[in-house]
Structure 1
Amino acid sequence: MTLVIGIDGGGTSCRAALATAGGEIIGRGKSGAANIRTDLTGARASIVEAARLAFTDAGRDPDLIAQTPALLGLAGSNVGTYRQQLEAILPFSRNVVTSDALIALEGAVGTGDGAIAVLGTGTVYMVRHGGKVRSVGGWGFLVGDQGSGARIGRDLLEETLLAYDGIAEASDLTRALLAVFRNEPRDVVEFTTTAKPGDLGGFAPMVFDHAAKGDAVAEKILGRAIHFIEESLRVMKLRPGDPLCLLGGLAPLYEPRLRADVRSLIKPPLQDALGGAISMALRLFAEGDQGKAGSHG
């Protein structure tokens, strides 16, 4: 093993890093969404493109992808058979597909005790105590991912239509959202026909912006989201001294809104999820070279 690829794929984007056997990252690439449950074929295309760009960035021939082992942390890999389906069609020499949460945990706290809350297009929580890992959430925005960008966006669309019908309170936020769709509620509905989690999550910053101005609907949406975030953290039974790392694009927006006792546990991550993928790849593939490693999910 002379090179390894680490992949971090979520509902908004896919990032790849190419590293030497010594752990030096020599190339990086970024492409589109890679949630394998939402769009398996599209996710594979994003993975391959991100890997190709990482090789190009490193000044290496992308044809070497077929000779390089890859560790992939991907949204959607924790349910169904999507992981196995993807492994069968990947171009790398060897594949280890696991959850995006697990590579994020390794990146944030290393191999020791600690916890993460990934607050982005989706949400998922993971804690490690004494070598045992437990995950909370990560079930997708249709039945889970409370507090995620996708759910915030979906809730905003719902509140806007309720306000249009006079069932719920209107606000500057709902009026601004409706204006995006030319004040035509039917266009809002049509948008949802093909909208993916990342599309819905694109409206989340609008909610935070209006909440900062005291918008009642924005505060209602975020209040509900924060309740679920804090309850998810509660069931992980964090102990004093356990590092808690908030990750994902919405983390800095949520942090000041969390309870003081939760904020007191927050520590900066050691490295990001892509760094975690590289660390796992180096460890697992080195073990595999000695006949120890297989697929991990």
Structure 2
Amino acid sequence: MSEYVIAIDGGGTSCRAALADRHGRVVGRGKQGSANIFTTSDTIGANIIAAAGQALKDAGIEGSKLSEIPAFLGLAGINVGERQRELAKALPFADTRFVHDGLIAMQGALGDEDGVMAILGTGSVYVSRVDGTLRNVGGWGFAIGDQASGSFIGRTLLQQTLLAHDGIREHTSLSRAVMARFNDDPEAMVEFAQQEACPADYGAFAPMIFEYDTKGDLLARDILLDAVRDITMALDAVVFEGCERLCLLGGLAHEYAKRLAPRHRAILAEPQGDALAGAVQLALRTFPLETAREKR
């Protein structure tokens, strides 16, 4: 049994890997592109392997050792479908276990304590823990879910910008700035959406919305009012009576924290750690060295 474990945090924007020893010390790290199960599995597998290989290199260990080390992976979208079975066959690890990224984020943010965790990044998902029982809300992917996520509000921004171009709604400084990104050519925007754009590409427009909201832009305001409404509804579904800790993770967490309903802001707490730290904790529990030695 290996003296190490590999932990993976795979989201819509990036795949992060950590190589940890049996004391939980991270000795190497790596990072690659998206590892969302809703994208093509070939891309996911390549990014996971590359990130894990970087972590080994960072620790001064040969990449060929990947096949001797077990891996614990938290991936966006892994709660949907059976594609993880195909993915597991394509990965070189000594043993491979999957959970969805909400579980590793929950473990990283709250440890073993009760509370609620929300990921608000390229995608969105909410997890609560009460007396050890977990409940999952959202995380259904970009096509029909991920409300309030960067990808969701970024796509909404493009949709509303085209409505302004067509004269259906008033142009604002934000919609004009988006049009300028596409050289004021609506067909270029449609081409981007039809042939190129993935969730992370739409998510790249999200920072503009928050920026222009601070300037009083009406389009930015409308998009964020809808997004915060969706977050509020989701949190009301998972925040249980007596809940004392709500942790937000993800690239948009800081911006949304300022906009939460007062009842949710009142229980906001700083996360203990991030999703990758949670993946390390769960990897060590899943692949205990002592148990493996006892079986020999």
**Which TM-score band applies after superposition, normalised by the shorter structure?**
over 0.9
Match of 2:220 in 1: 218
Identity, in percent, stands at: 48
**Structure 1 stretch displaced more, 32-41 or 18-27:** 32-41
Match of 2:148 in 1: 147
Q: Taking structure 1 as reference, are residues 70 and 88 closer, same or farther at Cα in structure 2, changes over 3 Å only? A: same
What's the Cα RMSD here? 1.4
CA distance in 2, matches of 1:145, 1:288: 40
Question: Number of matched residues?
Answer: 292
AA aligned to 2:65 is: L
Structure 2 counterpart SS, 1:167: coil
Residues 248-291 of structure 1 deviation map (CA, whole Å, 9 limit, x = unaligned): 00000111111221111111111110010010000111189359
Match of 1:264 in 2: 266
Match of 2:172 in 1: 171
Match of 1:295 in 2: none
Describe how 1:20-169 pairs up with structure 2 within 5 A.
Answer: 20-169=21-170
CA distance in 2, matches of 1:231, 1:288: 44
Report the TM-score, using the length of structure 1 for normalisation: 0.96
**Structure 1 stretch displaced more, 7-16 or 254-263:** 254-263
Q: Retained in 2: the 8 A contact 1:114–1:127?
A: yes
Describe how 1:238-257 pairs up with structure 2 within 5 A.
Answer: 238-257=240-259
Q: Taking structure 1 as reference, are residues 241 and 80 closer, same or farther at Cα in structure 2, changes over 3 Å only? A: closer
Q: Retained in 2: the 8 A contact 1:76–1:82?
A: no
CA distance in 1, matches of 2:284, 2:137: 27
**Structure 1 stretch displaced more, 64-73 or 229-238:** 229-238
AA aligned to 1:55 is: L
Structure 1 counterpart SS, 2:288: helix
CA distance in 1, matches of 2:95, 2:252: 33
Match of 2:229 in 1: 227
Match of 2:14 in 1: 13
**Residue 7 of structure 1, CA deviation:** 0.2
Match of 2:278 in 1: 276
Q: Taking structure 1 as reference, are residues 276 and 2 closer, same or farther at Cα in structure 2, changes over 3 Å only? A: same
Match of 1:199 in 2: 201
Structure 1 counterpart SS, 2:258: helix
1:188 and 2:199 aligned: no
Q: Retained in 1: the 8 A contact 2:116–2:239?
A: no
Structure 1 counterpart SS, 2:142: coil
CA distance in 2, matches of 1:91, 1:252: 37
CA distance in 2, matches of 1:22, 1:204: 39
Q: Taking structure 1 as reference, are residues 211 and 280 closer, same or farther at Cα in structure 2, changes over 3 Å only? A: same
AA aligned to 1:188 is: M
CA distance in 2, matches of 1:130, 1:86: 33
Residues 128-164 of structure 1 deviation map (CA, whole Å, 9 limit, x = unaligned): 1111111000111221111000011100000000000
CA distance in 1, matches of 2:33, 2:183: 28
**Structure 1 stretch displaced more, 237-246 or 251-260:** 237-246
Report the TM-score, using the length of structure 2 for normalisation: 0.96
CA distance in 1, matches of 2:241, 2:48: 37
**Residue 84 of structure 1, CA deviation:** 1.5
Q: Retained in 2: the 8 A contact 1:38–1:76?
A: no
Q: Taking structure 1 as reference, are residues 287 and 67 closer, same or farther at Cα in structure 2, changes over 3 Å only? A: closer
Structure 2 counterpart SS, 1:257: coil
